[in-house]
């Protein structure tokens, strides 16, 4: 069982990473292997960091042999993905969008089909666009055919759409708790759906 965390923030030690690390630690407690990918870091060696549809269907030639290609290989082996982003003007960061746009080859090969997804968002204010950011993350995952988890039951509430934090995330106990619950949901659903993934 591999659960991947995608840090959509340009910061490697910021609020989004804090929330993701809390979630990944919970997944590890449940026996999952985890890996954290900093999307801004793996985009660094890209001559052109955004997708411009250079080949149809996508061959992945722009990231072959790069850190970005390695990140996509890790995602292709994953059972669950926890996507985190800071709020940038009510949606995901440009870095995360650029990273995800280049996953066209994964879509062509159905590598993320039925992979379980959970979303986390951080903002400067309590109501700072976190839920619209979560919905953007959902749209990105749905196009890959991923299975998204949300709340589901009041006894163990991960947030209706996912975990949302107000900075500083490390002091937002409500958000940290929801990140742990979300991770448990992702691992549970990933365990139950193993046979559906293209491996």
Q: What average pLDDT score do residues 129-158 get?
A: 87
The verdict on residue 198 lying in a domain is no
Q: How far apart are CA 64 and CA 107, in angstroms?
A: 16
Q: How far apart are CA 67 and CA 89, in angstroms?
A: 28
The verdict on residue 154 lying in a domain is yes
The verdict on residue 185 lying in a domain is yes
Specify the pLDDT at position 59. 86
> What six digits make up the tokens of 55?
């080949």
Specify the pLDDT at position 127. 86
Q: How confident is the model at residue 105 (pLDDT cuts 50, 70, 90)?
A: very high
pLDDT (tens digit per residue) in 154-194: 666 656 667 888 899 999 898 999 999 999 999 999 999 99
The verdict on residue 7 lying in a domain is yes
The verdict on residue 6 lying in a domain is yes
Counting the structural domains of the chain, the total is 1
Mean pLDDT of the chain: 92
Residue 141 structural domain: 2-193
Helices (H) then strands (E): counts for the chain:
7, 6
Specify the pLDDT at position 76. 97
The verdict on residue 50 lying in a domain is yes
Largest CA distance in the chain: 48
The verdict on residue 160 lying in a domain is yes
pLDDT (tens digit per residue) in 41-67: 999 999 988 888 888 888 888 899 999
| Strands 2-7 vs 33-38: parallel, antiparallel or unpaired | parallel
- Domain CATH for 24: 3.40.50.360
Say what percent of the chain tops pLDDT 70.
93
- Beta-carbon contacts of 104 under 8 Å, excluding residues fewer than 6 positions away, are 51, 57, 58
Give the Å distances, CA to CA, from 82 to 63, 185, 190.
Answer: 22, 11, 12
Q: What average pLDDT score do residues 70-86 get?
A: 98
Specify the pLDDT at position 2. 98
Q: Which of 133-137, 140-144, 194-198 has the lowest mean pLDDT?
A: 194-198
Burial category of 139 from C-beta neighbours within 10 Å (exposed 0-12, middle 13-18, buried 19 and up)? exposed
Specify the pLDDT at position 166. 83
The verdict on residue 199 lying in a domain is no
């Amino acid at each position: 069982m591999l659960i991947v965390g995608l840090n959509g923030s340009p910061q490697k030690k910021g609020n989004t990473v804090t929330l993701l690390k809390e979630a990944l630690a919970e997944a590890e407690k449940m026996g999952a292997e985890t890996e954290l990918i900093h999307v801004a870091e793996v985009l660094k060696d890209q001559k052109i960091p955004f997708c411009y549809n250079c080949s149809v269907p996508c061959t992945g030639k722009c990231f072959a042999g790069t850190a970005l290609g390695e990140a996509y290989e890790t995602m292709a082996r994953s059972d669950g993905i926890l996507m985190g982003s800071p709020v940038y003007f009510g949606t995901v960061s440009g870095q995360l969008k650029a990273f995800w746009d280049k996953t066209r080859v994964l879509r062509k090969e159905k590598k993320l089909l039925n992979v379980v997804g959970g979303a986390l968002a951080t903002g400067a204010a309590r109501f700072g666009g976190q839920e619209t950011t979560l919905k953007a993350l959902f749209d990105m995952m749905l196009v890959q055919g991923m299975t998204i988890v949300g709340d589901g039951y009041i006894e163990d509430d991960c947030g209706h759409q996912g975990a949302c934090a107000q900075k500083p995330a490390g002091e937002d106990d409500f958000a940290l708790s929801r990140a742990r619950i979300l991770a448990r949901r992702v691992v549970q659903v990933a365990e139950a759906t193993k046979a559906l993934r293209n491996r």
